[in-house]
């Protein structure tokens, strides 16, 4: 975790309380109501785990937060300022420093790491050409500082296909941190990963916190999310049914609670 405090220190501070706030958000897909009366906040330096059964509305909620889907009604605030929903889009969310890391879809497999860092954001020289030397230098710095890969045999010239699943998540998270995201949104970052790889991803999530940012992440594995999250938001049939601080509930009690919810639904 060396370097995390310098990360926090080097980051520009703009005063705000909540990275994202939703008020009375609803989302319909035709007659299906996927989200009902969602009011929640993501603190500026908080790790929030989104949990709930299949179909509870977790992915829909994240898509609304990140501009992928427009809510049917409700209000969205980013850094305490209300967003005009007519304008909200993935691009705007991005411009507002909300970065989403999608499992596997975020990186190009056959490309070296340094190229992956600069997709869509090339550094060009004064002739308008891509400045490869500079990009490699910045990528090497990112590997060391944001991501914390030290002496593990991974360089900026390694291809993504050489990396383990956990390391790939790390690269995608590190890239988001480098671009000064205030909020990093992860949809099931540990799914299909081996135990050792899961540990790495959980460490990357801790780095997000240590660098002063917020993270919202969907996780099915309750033990993992209980371990790293500051707060858990439980969704059930499109609505928030509980907000839990892991210190107030054991993993066993949390599991029991979710089972009860499902039985209630059945
Ligand atoms: N594009 C869509 N069109 C119609 N219905 C949708 C669409 N997307 C989601 N839904 C419905 O909205 C509800 C919530 O789905 P969502 O994908 O948000 O659940 P989830 O909590 O992410 O589930 P999972 O854990 O299985 O990923 C479900 O009933 C789903 O069928
Ligand atoms: Mg989902």
Least confident of 7-11, 28-32, 115-119: 7-11
Predicted local distance difference test score (pLDDT) of residue 151: 61
- Conformation bin of residue 192: beta by default, left when phi > 0, alpha when psi is -120 to 50: left
Residue nearest to atom 27 of ligand 1 (CA): 54
> What's the rounded mean pLDDT across residues 216-222?
93
Residue 12 pLDDT: 53
Strand partners, 215: 47, 184
Ligand nearest to the CA of 28: 1
Per residue in 128-143, pLDDT tens?
Answer: 888 888 889 988 888 8
Specify if 87 maps to a domain: yes
Per-residue model confidence (pLDDT) at position 95: 87
Q: Which atom of ligand 1 is nearest to the CA of 52?
A: 21
Q: CATH number, domain at 235?
A: 3.40.50.300
Confidence (pLDDT) at 265: 63
Residue 27, domain extent: 4-107+180-265
From the CB of 29, is ligand 1 less than 6 Å away? yes
pLDDT greater at residue 178 or residue 26:
26
The length of the chain, given as a count of residues: 266
Q: pLDDT band for 36, please (50, 70, 90 cuts).
A: very high
Residue 232 lies in a domain: yes
Q: Which of 137, 93, 85, 89 is nearest to 113 (CA)?
A: 137
Average pLDDT, integer, range 232-246? 97
Q: Inform me whether the pLDDT recorded for 42 exceeds 60.
A: yes
pLDDT at 213 over 70: yes
- Return the percentage of the chain with pLDDT > 90, whole number: 50
Q: What CA–CA distance (Å, rounded) separates 61 from 40? A: 11
How many whole angstroms from 52 Cα to the centroid of ligand 1? 12
The structural domain count of the chain equals 1
Residue with tokens 């319909």: 28
Residue 114 lies in a domain: no
258 C-beta neighbours (distance < 10 Å), count: 18
Question: Could you tell me if the CB of 265 is within 6 A of ligand 1?
Answer: no
Pocket lining: 51 vs ligand 1, CB cutoff 6 Å: no
Domain assignment of residue 249, yes or no:
yes
Q: In what order do the strands lie in the sheet with 47-51?
A: 98-102, 183-187, 214-218, 47-51, 231-236, 239-244
């Amino acid at each position: 975790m060396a370097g995390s405090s310098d990360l926090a220190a080097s980051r520009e501070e703009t005063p705000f309380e909540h990275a994202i706030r939703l008020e009375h958000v609803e989302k319909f897909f035709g007659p299906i109501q996927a989200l009902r009366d969602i009011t929640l906040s993501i603190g500026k330096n908080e790790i929030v785990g989104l949990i709930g059964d299949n179909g509870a509305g977790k992915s829909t909620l994240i898509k609304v937060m990140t501009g992928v889907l427009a809510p049917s009604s409700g209000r969205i605030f980013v850094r305490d300022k209300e967003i005009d929903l007519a304008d909200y889009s993935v691009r705007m969310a991005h411009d507002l420093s909300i970065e989403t890391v999608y499992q596997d879809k975020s990186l190009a497999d056959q490309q070296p790491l340094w190229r992956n860092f600069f997709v869509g954001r090339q550094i060009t020289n004064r002739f308008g050409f891509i400045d490869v030397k500079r990009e490699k230098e910045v990528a090497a710095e990112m590997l060391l500082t944001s991501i914390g890969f030290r002496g593990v045999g991974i360089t900026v010239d390694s291809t993504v296909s050489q990396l383990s699943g956990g390391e790939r998540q790390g690269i995608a998270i590190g890239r988001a941190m480098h671009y000064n995201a205030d909020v990093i949104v992860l949809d099931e970052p540990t799914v299909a990963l081996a135990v050792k790889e899961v540990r790495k991803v959980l460490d990357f999530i801790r780095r997000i916190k240590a660098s002063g940012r917020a993270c919202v992440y969907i996780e099915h594995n309750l033990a993992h999310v209980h371990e790293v999250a500051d707060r858990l938001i439980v969704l059930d049939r499109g609505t928030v049914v509980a907000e839990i601080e892991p210190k107030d509930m054991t993993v066993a009690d949390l599991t029991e609670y979710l089972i009860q919810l499902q039985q209630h639904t059945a």
